[in-house]
Amino acid sequence: MFQVLKNSEVYNNKPLVYGFFEEQSSVFVNKEINQEIIDLFNQDLIEKKLGSVNKIYTLNKMDNSIVYLVSLGKLSTYNLRQLEKALVKVNYKLGSELNINIASFLGKLSEKDVVKTLVNAIGNYNYVFDELLTKKFNNDLTINLIIDEQLDLDASINEGFNLAVAMSNVKDLVNRPYNHLSAADLAEYATNLVDSFDNNKVSIKVYDKKEIEAFGMHSYLAVNKGSTAEPKLIHVKYNGGKGEYIGLVGKGVMFDTGGYSLKTNMLNMKDDMAGSATVLGVLEAVVKNNLPINLQVIICATDNRINGEALLPDDVITAMNKMTIEIKSTDAEGRLTLADGVCFAQKEGCKEVIDVATLTGAVVVALGEDITGLFGNENSLIKNLLDASEQANEEFWHMPINDGIREQVRDSKVADLTNSTGRLMGASSGAAFIEAFIEEGTKWLHLDIAGTAFSTSPKVGQFYGATAASVKTLYLYLKNKNA
């Protein structure tokens, strides 16, 4: 459990966490140990590299038994991104309860921004996934924020905390294997999440296979043909403000075998539903922080498995908008679900649609595992999302869709579209395929998180597996609409 308390003074003996900058020659924590700390600095025994944590025992000279001096890097370059990097080792491993002196982390930043970033970052770095282990991690952590009581920082604390919890929930979803998270399980999770809001602005409807068939969503249903588990169409509405609905469409392929275009390696394909987890996480942060927007979340949940009824290469299927699709590869299945997902979002009145998907291995080849691929049909939206990603300390890169790529997606001899154009320009052709289902007048963004959603080689401070990539960026993008 992660919790945050606010105290003007701390009267316990738990560790005290102080920030300092490389330019400093000492840190003045308490008059009883200041000289000892000065001596440590003078003897170059304090590590000043960004993110370094120096442990100092106070030997009963002050109430706190331990002081942790955390290097914030250079003051001359200090910003919120640098602050987040400085906090990667500040988690339960330092103790189950930590007292954090906020003033020491400010530099030239505002108290509100520092508190929000600090709470969110520590919550993020305190994450573990142990629900399937018999021996659990003890990562319970309480952080006491030492703050001037004259400052009204409750809203900032709550916002950072709510976002941290939402990101942890996203990671839990993505880390669960298929036998612990089917389409039905995801629908149940979404229903319970909406019920937990206790907010009459939020409603949910989960559609079964017969209802999905009635909508004419045969592109989505084609992916489900080889499965014994029914698909679930999850539709959440949040009426939090004025203006038109923004639609978040998350890819919900609960496990991807590749179908008859069988993958040679399908390890970690449990993460192919990371787009659906992401949009549910964004929804959670938006609702808990009462953003004044109107939002819809759409998830076409299914797995992609093989039996005698499964989708075959050369099949031609018909999407919700009546466009026909030639199947070149059954492993290009996510775009088939998203095609009907964005059609459904537009039918429900969304004039801006953002889809989030672990769509292509090609985006990983192009950008690696640290950068999310971004596509869209309006430059102002793309700029706004890139600005939000800077705020969120997440990296995005604007990727192209040109007429030549669009022509190749429409190059089928037997249908309106082909679902695969081969290995070349794969990320762009996948985006171009989804774009074909965006109606004139609809603003659209596509986030390909195939490289960033899951890490088998986690960075310092990051737990193995799911990363909750793009949750914070999308939350800030939506928040900035009313800034």
171 catalytic per annotation: no
Residue 404 burial by CB count (10 A; 0-12/13-18/19+): exposed, middle or buried?
exposed
DSSP 51-94: T-EEEEE-TTSSSSSEEEEEE---GGG--HHHHHHHTTT-SGGG
Q: Which of 164, 76, 70 is nearest to 116 (CA)?
A: 164
Q: What are residue 454's DSSP bridge partners?
A: 466
Q: Which of 116, 335, 472, 479 is catalytic?
A: 335
Q: Which of 61, 175, 169 is nearest to 458 (CA)?
A: 175
Q: For the range 30-35, what are the long-range contacts, defined as Cβ-Cβ under 8 Å and sequence gap of 24 or more?
A: 30/58, 30/61, 30/62, 32/58, 32/61, 32/62, 33/58, 33/61, 33/62, 33/67
Residue 213: CB atoms within 10 A of its CB come to 14
CA distances from 377 to 14, 67, 188, 434, 449 (A): 53, 52, 34, 11, 18
Distance from C-alpha of 269 to C-alpha of 271, rounded to nearest angstrom: 5
263 catalytic per annotation: yes
Which amino acid appears at position 347 of this protein?
Answer: K
Distance from C-alpha of 338 to C-alpha of 299, rounded to nearest angstrom: 8
Q: Which of 142, 391, 334, 354 is nearest to 245 (CA)?
A: 354
| 3-class state of residue 328 by DSSP | coil
Written as six digits, the tokens of 307 are 């039996």
Q: Which of 85, 263, 351, 443 is catalytic?
A: 263
Query: Which residue numbers are catalytic?
Result: 263, 335
